[in-house]
Structure 1
Amino acid sequence: MKYYYEVSLLKSPLNPLTYEYDAKIDIGSKVFVKLRNRKKLSDAVIIKEVEKPDFKCVKIDEISSFYFDNKMLELATFISQYYVCSFGEAIGTFIPYNKEIIENTDEVEFQSEIKLSSEQNKAYDFLEEKKQALLFANTGSGKTEIYIKTIEKILNSGGSAILLMPEISLTPQMQKRLEKVFSTSVAIWHSKVTKKKKEEILEGIYSGRIKLVAGARSALFLPLKNLELIVVDEEHDESYKSDSKPRYHAKDLSLYIAKKYNIRLILGSATASISSFQKLPYYRLNETFFDTTKKIVFDDSSQDLSSKVLNKIREVLNNNAQVIIFLPTRANFKYQICTSCGKSVQCPYCSVSMSLHKNDRALKCHYCGWTTKIPEFCPSCNTGIIHNLRVGTAEIETQLNELFPQKNIKRFDRDEIKTDAKLKSVLNDFNKNKIDILVGTQMLSKGHDYHNVKLAVVLGIDSILNMNSYKARERALSLLIQIAGRSGRKGEGEVIIQTQNEEFFDYYLKQSDYEEFLEGELIFREDTSYPPFLKMAKIIFAHTNGLKVKDEMDKYLNILRQNNHIEVVGFGQSGIFKMANRYRYEIIIRSNNIKQMLVALHSIDSTMVTIDMDTTY
């Protein structure tokens, strides 16, 4: 007897296909199937049994021991519907269970030596009472201790837990703290973990030995049994939003999972996101773990390293303390402008300026990766001399090495930190005071806890405040508070902020706090019709033919403008018009009717389109 099944190809944009098999197969089973024109078998999942179709079917080649449970199938359905992608792309983010590995039911008792303060205990009790809640806790107030005590209780009752963190926060420091309490029952999961190590971790999860995973956003899709707690640390962090299909937001998805399956959820941050602040009950933890005094100084100089900044760095280094310097740009310089014709040196495949990397003696595109040698003259007019603008981390590192040749200065950005080993090495050296100055991008803000940093220098924060986004004020202030929180974790600290917007930053850093900012920003967002009071989406059209893609955008622009449930906020060329030799246009829409908005988005049938639900454009 033959049976017929709809199967979805994992990570594929294709619609489900029908195959046959001569035995019953469980729904959710992972199978291998042949696709026309492909020699290699494709991974797929059985999604439903169907009647015999009126066309000839190919036989399923092989049934594996792996399977996706009902919860995974339900969540993949939600992801495909809400984030507007195929079911195959959605289910492809999950790692399936394995029938062959027998679960070990041996119980392990965990006992931490953490003693919470009276304020921490109040926060802990509040979170115990609420199924889903926000821990709105100042930098240095001891959020991690509260997380660990909560996880300990869950694991001791037979449950498992996920602790999500921005990738770069998964430091050796955090790993040691978790392993001290949970020993071999905890695993660290992120993109820099090797394939072999990931296989070991999965074996531990299948056997039940690993009950806690601390990881980046992909940890949410691991096959943990008896999941009873999700903690999202630094929940405000934008790295929780995936920039490739499916374009899910791990924090929002965690909230959906927690509510749907009655799982406990703790979102934690010193600079809570507006959406979490509005949606969830919160506990405000103001008390810091150590007595600290922090001095905020503003510098309106247009120089990258002004005399005020350099004098303060010198003073701090003379006192054998450490310095961190933040700026939002990697490389030596972001722009190369011709002094004669005024044009920038652009990537031939993307409409962006090339970034100067002096050590590599090259210009690199940070979008498509194209690299070329540094030109002697302007490529546009062939005569002008190139002038460098918008300083980057590598250039600041070079300047500091010249000014402080006896000091150890390191860079902390994606160009420099490419492996897990390098990350651990740099942070370990910094923790042991082997590095005097750490120069980096937003990676510096990710929850690192070092007690000898007495000065944080913030350069280029105005470029974030002036971004074309309704979230610009929230991003700039949140980032500034996070970086400022790295200085003076214990004792005295100082923060120097280079800005032309002293009045805005001064008010919220000295006279007010982030809670008041969020309350005011909520009123502003409601008045101007922005999230979290309605939904926004960006529809991106991309193709190598610029005229063809413009026509495609115009076609859907006319259709969307006729929809009474949707408002077109903006349209036209994307901020980066050309990327990897593809021309890009976009339409931004918003609506307070999520159902009608999703119907409209799912009706877009174009191979040129990518949809970014809950965009911050």
Structure 2
Amino acid sequence: MKYYEIAIIGFYLENLVFHSVLELSPLTQVIVDLKGKKNLKAIIIQECKKPEFQTQEIKEILPYSLSPFQFELANFISYYYATKLSFVLGFFECSKKYENNSIEILNKPCLNDKQESALNFIKNHQSSLLFADTGSGKTEIYISLIKEYLEKGKQVLLLMPEISLTPQMQKRLEKYFKDYFFLWHSKISKKKKQEYLFALEEGKKLLVAGARSALFLPFRNLGLIIVDEEHDNSYKASNKPYINARDLALFIGAKQNIKVVLGSATPSLVSFYKQKSFRLKGTFFESKKHFIFDESELNITPTLLNELEKTLNHQKQAIVFLPTRANFRQIVCRNCGNTIKCPFCSIPMSLHKNKNLLKCHYCNFSKPVDQTCPSCNALMLEAKKMGTAELCELLLGYFPNANIKRFDSDEVSTLKKLNTILKEFNERKIDILVGTSMLAKGHDYHSVDLSVILGLDEYLYRPNYKATEETLSLAMQVAGRAGRKGEARVLLQTKNRDFFEKYIQDYDAFLKDELCFRKDLYPPFKRLLRIIIEDKDLLSASKLCENLALKIKKISQIELIGYGACGIEMINSKYRFYILLRSDSYKSLIAIQNYMLDFKNISSDIDPIDFS
């Protein structure tokens, strides 16, 4: 009889011991029964000694296994993000053992001298940052590099923010790699996923272009990982385990000698500081931008209307960015000053006029629009902080003959709708596209001569050490959608003209100045850990937060930055409190994370990006 340590896939459990008469290889997938739960999938971790307690027999051996690549990645996630290995394995796809064949790619991009220099730089570094202006042709550099790896029979992973998995990228990859790649993201069906996994096993597909989850696929001969738009926050998971796909790519690249390329026009300060980088300036097509500053509060101003009218008169297109969806972000009582809040979350509810509803964008609770103030019963209710739906309505009033469409998560709820709107816009059937940050996510808009950026001022003053970095990056990404070919204007409505005027055309200068600001305080010079306590009882959550903070304060290698009620104090009927820690040593923070595992109502996020 042989005994094996196994991990039950997807369950938040310690590893268990089962037995079998067969000799089984580590990483093999098996079937077991456990306490009334039957036919559970599990992974053989290693053979072990006979335990003192009675064990159950492994029920079935499957022809699938984890790849060494996957197991090393899963182990690191379990360690660094303080999560049970069995739970982490629930994110991974198993496969049969397979080998790849090399393929010949006939088509290849024609690179200019700058792009060739960038390509050679990347080839000479195990990991690097391609700091490339919008429109400078970094995709062609990616494709040239991918071609070389596929022709060696190596697998390639191209990671992109979810919304960037657009028809345009698919068309570019199809042009060069035809049937040798597939797209992997949350919106593809289960049946399609099985087809793609089978194609990967058969060696028919060597290139995977996908969102964060593509990192968990059963690669067995991965040679190259490209993280496009590496600055994008969607690489960071918003629930347990709070992984960052960019960071995981760098880890696994270093461990398994896989080349990693990070790419962005507005790279994160951490990547800029830590990675050797190649600066690719200029645009592939000649383009010039003229910046117009409208020093106003968020509003439809004469300056904005004048610039939109110019664009329409010249039969060009405009994109208008606004960070808020719906009609208005909140309803305010003019009598008592209170907002109408969600009963389950401590945030104002947003107004959706087309459905006559107030909706919470955190827990999705909705209700009919109040006619009187819930606090004082006054009738004087006023909508505040305009959203994309309201902006579209107002612009249609000014330009009734224009075709104006929304581009936000309310309107673009499926991949089909995304494809349709982008197709119509590039076919110039839409004159003005109004949207949220989805507008900035790497789409090519061929006839846009005006980018409008509204409502960004409040982003600059969020309680987040990355507030200026993220705000400037977003503004530059939106601005970069205009003038892909030819001249263009960028209208920025802001009361912070000095900041934007100084940096919006010089991200290099911003990065250097920001490094000085963060020295000895924040990443990339320090490590952060954010602990969140959630409880339906306000007093219990508050006391636990204070007690833990006072204990942690005594630890020499840990600095307590602050603690107390979260910015959003309640979500889904649970009160939320935070503890924010700083250290030079990630090991000290991981030790704190492991200690917090004993508390059911506590979650910990190492390297946090959300501080709400």
TM range (shorter): over 0.9
Amino acid at match of 1:147: Y
| Aligned 8 A contact 1:341 1:384 in 2 | no
CA apart distance, 1:224: 2.2
User: Deviation per CA, 1:223-267, whole angstroms, max 9, x where unpaired?
Assistant: 123110001111111111011111111111111111111111111
User: Deviation per CA, 1:538-573, whole angstroms, max 9, x where unpaired?
Assistant: 011112222222232223212211110000111111
Provide closer, same or farther for how the CA distance between residues 75 and 383 of structure 1 changes in structure 2, counting only shifts above 3 A.
same
1:72 and 1:220 map into 2 onto residues whose CA distance is 9
Q: Which residue of the other structure, out of 261, 264, 268, is the alignment partner of 2:263?
A: 268
2:147 and 2:340 map into 1 onto residues whose CA distance is 55
For the pair 1:288 / 2:283, whether they are aligned, the reply is yes
1:116 and 1:491 map into 2 onto residues whose CA distance is 20
User: Deviation per CA, 1:327-349, whole angstroms, max 9, x where unpaired?
Assistant: 11111111111122211111111
For 1:139-538, what aligned pairs fall within 5 Å after superposition? 139-510=134-505, 513-527=506-520, 529-538=521-530
For 1:540-559, what aligned pairs fall within 5 Å after superposition? 540-559=532-551
| Aligned 8 A contact 1:241 1:248 in 2 | yes
2:261 and 2:454 map into 1 onto residues whose CA distance is 33
**Equivalent in the alignment of 2:24:** 25
**Equivalent in the alignment of 1:83:** 81
**Equivalent in the alignment of 2:128:** 133
Provide closer, same or farther for how the CA distance between residues 303 and 596 of structure 1 changes in structure 2, counting only shifts above 3 A.
closer
User: Deviation per CA, 1:471-516, whole angstroms, max 9, x where unpaired?
Assistant: 1110111111111000111111001111110001001135xx1111
CA apart distance, 1:87: 1.0
Q: Which residue of the other structure, out of 560, 570, 586, is the alignment partner of 2:552?
A: 560
State the SS of the aligned residue for 1:41.
strand
CA apart distance, 1:37: 4.8
**Equivalent in the alignment of 1:16:** 15
**Equivalent in the alignment of 1:98:** 96
Provide closer, same or farther for how the CA distance between residues 216 and 303 of structure 1 changes in structure 2, counting only shifts above 3 A.
closer
State the SS of the aligned residue for 1:530.
coil
Amino acid at match of 2:112: S
Amino acid at match of 2:382: H
Q: Which residue of the other structure, out of 64, 67, 74, is the alignment partner of 1:66?
A: 64
State the SS of the aligned residue for 2:519.
helix
1:15 and 1:404 map into 2 onto residues whose CA distance is 62
State the SS of the aligned residue for 2:26.
coil
Amino acid at match of 1:5: Y
Amino acid at match of 2:603: T
2:375 and 2:34 map into 1 onto residues whose CA distance is 48
State the SS of the aligned residue for 1:236.
coil
Amino acid at match of 1:524: F
Amino acid at match of 1:582: K
User: Deviation per CA, 1:300-354, whole angstroms, max 9, x where unpaired?
Assistant: 2225211110111111011111110101111111111112221111111111111
Amino acid at match of 2:151: N
| Aligned 8 A contact 1:84 1:613 in 2 | no
| Aligned 8 A contact 1:108 1:156 in 2 | yes
CA apart distance, 1:212: 0.4
> TM-score, normalising length from structure 1?
0.96
1:516 and 1:301 map into 2 onto residues whose CA distance is 26
Give aligned pairs, total. Answer: 609
For the pair 1:580 / 2:572, whether they are aligned, the reply is yes
For the pair 1:5 / 2:21, whether they are aligned, the reply is no
> TM-score, normalising length from structure 2?
0.97
Amino acid at match of 1:496: L
CA apart distance, 1:519: 1.1
2:512 and 2:344 map into 1 onto residues whose CA distance is 43
State the SS of the aligned residue for 1:58.
coil
User: Deviation per CA, 1:580-605, whole angstroms, max 9, x where unpaired?
Assistant: 11111110101002222211221222
Amino acid at match of 1:503: D
Moved more, 381-390 or 136-145: 381-390
CA apart distance, 1:23: 2.5
Moved more, 488-497 or 82-91: 82-91
1:268 and 1:41 map into 2 onto residues whose CA distance is 43
2:297 and 2:584 map into 1 onto residues whose CA distance is 43
Amino acid at match of 1:523: C
**Equivalent in the alignment of 2:50:** 52
1:303 and 1:278 map into 2 onto residues whose CA distance is 35
2:134 and 2:185 map into 1 onto residues whose CA distance is 24
- Give 5+ residue unaligned stretches, structure 1: none
1:11 and 1:208 map into 2 onto residues whose CA distance is 28
**Equivalent in the alignment of 1:593:** 585
| Aligned 8 A contact 1:313 1:323 in 2 | yes
Percent identity, aligned pairs only, is 45
User: Deviation per CA, 1:126-155, whole angstroms, max 9, x where unpaired?
Assistant: 111112111111010000000000000110
2:32 and 2:344 map into 1 onto residues whose CA distance is 37
State the SS of the aligned residue for 1:411.
strand
| Aligned 8 A contact 2:475 2:504 in 1 | no
Amino acid at match of 2:74: A
1:62 and 1:310 map into 2 onto residues whose CA distance is 69
1:59 and 1:559 map into 2 onto residues whose CA distance is 45
| Aligned 8 A contact 1:11 1:93 in 2 | yes
Provide closer, same or farther for how the CA distance between residues 15 and 317 of structure 1 changes in structure 2, counting only shifts above 3 A.
same
CA apart distance, 1:106: 5.3
1:106 and 1:560 map into 2 onto residues whose CA distance is 54
1:12 and 1:583 map into 2 onto residues whose CA distance is 26
Amino acid at match of 1:285: L
1:391 and 1:517 map into 2 onto residues whose CA distance is 30
State the SS of the aligned residue for 2:562.
strand
Amino acid at match of 2:28: S
| Aligned 8 A contact 2:326 2:351 in 1 | yes
| Aligned 8 A contact 2:102 2:150 in 1 | no
- Give 5+ residue unaligned stretches, structure 2: none
Task: State the Cα RMSD in Å.
Answer: 1.5
